Amino acid sequence: MKLIGHAREKEIFSRVIAENRLHHAYILSGREGTGKKLFARETARALLCENGSFMTECSCRHCANILNSEHPDIHIIEETPLKIDTARQINQEAFMSPMSAKKKVYIIDNADSFGLQAANALLKTLEEPPSDTYFFLITSRYSQVLHTIRSRCVNIGFGLLSAEEVTEIVRQHTDKTGEETEQAVRIASGSAGTALNILSDIDKRTLFTGIRSKTELYEEIASLDTKDAIKTYSASLYAHLLEKYKKTGSESLLDFSNYLLDILKRLEYNVSLDMFRLDLYIKTIEVLSEKS
């Protein structure tokens, strides 16, 4: 699948790959849902490809395997937080020869969630990796990535997607069109992932409007009895807050919107719903009472 958008970032990597100046450890940072992980995988493909194809189609055996997500030399790690045992395993494997290609690549998501021990385990390998090994760390909260990790990686900040680009990505993933797609694209403000989340929930949710009292809010949030209910509620609240942010420019609204995006993401894992409801309630009260 063609990677849409990020012309500047493509140019940066296209140049360093062509000039053989690629660093061994990068952080790809920027808003959630803009394609950073896909970008890392495409860059990894260029490193393993027999023809050096970067962002262009290729049918060599390495590219074919990568597209099927089954290449043994591309490791995609999505644990939150990264387990210490996983970090140690990466350390050991990094110093072994690649299994099939000439190079190997580790794509590690949620770099902002590394604990101290897991991070410490990785530091030496990030600093002096074997010559055939490359790291791409992904984060939507660069400022929360540990300094020790940051100082060993080159950070590439990813910009937002344009409305046209988000629309094109949405078109690739759903058959929805018209008004609701336009609205989701507008609300998502440059994140295709957010647009897709909103679209998948838009049929179920009622729009979050009006100011609630603390009691009403409490009852509302306490009655969210499934993951889906929390997700739908958060997506709706997210849409509402983002609209409000556009009008007021309030940073705390933007922070809260990001927190909600985080909830939508973390809900994919097994978590205690009680903790989520409590957390959501406390944060919602904080932000909404401040604004009302």
Q: How far apart are CA 261 and CA 264, in angstroms?
A: 5
- Work out how close the CB of 46 gets to Zn ion at its nearest, in angstroms, rounded to a whole number: 8
Q: State whether residue 209 is helix, strand or coil.
A: coil
Q: Does 60 bind Zn ion (CB under 5 A)?
A: yes
Q: How far apart are CA 275 and CA 262, in angstroms?
A: 14
Q: Does 63 bind Zn ion (CB under 5 A)?
A: yes
- Work out how close the CB of 134 gets to Zn ion at its nearest, in angstroms, rounded to a whole number: 16
| CB of 63 or CB of 202, closer to Zn ion | 63
Q: Does 49 bind Zn ion (CB under 5 A)?
A: yes
Q: Does 66 bind Zn ion (CB under 5 A)?
A: no
Q: How many CA atoms lie within 13 A of 61 on its CB side?
A: 5
| Residue whose structure tokens are 């939508």 | 264
Single residue of 16, 38, 58, 163 touching Zn ion by CB under 5 A: 58
φ, ψ for residue 288, nearest 5 deg: -70, -35
| CB of 49 or CB of 202, closer to Zn ion | 49
Q: How far is CA 121 from the centre of its chain?
A: 23
- Work out how close the CB of 63 gets to Zn ion at its nearest, in angstroms, rounded to a whole number: 3
Of 173, 178, 126, 169, which is closest to residue 147 (Cα–Cα)? 126
- Work out how close the CB of 166 gets to Zn ion at its nearest, in angstroms, rounded to a whole number: 28
- Work out how close the CB of 47 gets to Zn ion at its nearest, in angstroms, rounded to a whole number: 10
| CB of 50 or CB of 182, closer to Zn ion | 50
Bridge pairing between strands 25-29 and 154-157:
parallel
Residues at the interface with Zn ion (CB under 5 A): 49, 51, 53, 58, 60, 63
